[in-house]
Amino acid sequence: MDKYIYDSHMGGYYTSDEPIDFEWLYCEQCGDSDWLIGQASNRAGAKELLWTDEYDNEDYEDSYIKEFIEEEWDE
Ligand SMILES: [Zn+2]
């Protein structure tokens, strides 16, 4: 099953099995919001999304991304 990958405006990635409404992604404290990166059903798909420079995100360490992917997808 696909997981939706989000980049938190506080830093860090997280996933959700369901798409998250914008009102939950938006942070009233700072006016910033988390954003959807994409959907992935396995590690290969997640890698494709997270190891591109296509997104204007903060940079994360490769080790963090690797760990995140291994925790969230079994294969
Ligand atoms: Zn905030």
Cα-to-centroid distance, 44 and ligand 1 (Å): 30
pLDDT 10s digits, 45-75: 999 898 866 555 556 888 899 999 999 999 9
Q: What pTM was estimated for this model as a whole?
A: 0.87
E strands along the chain, which residues?
A: 3-7, 13-16, 35-40
pLDDT computed for residue 37 by the predictor: 93
pLDDT computed for residue 55 by the predictor: 55
Cα-to-centroid distance, 1 and ligand 1 (Å): 29
Cα-to-centroid distance, 16 and ligand 1 (Å): 19
Instruction: Give the C-alpha separation, 64 to 24, whole Å.
Output: 25
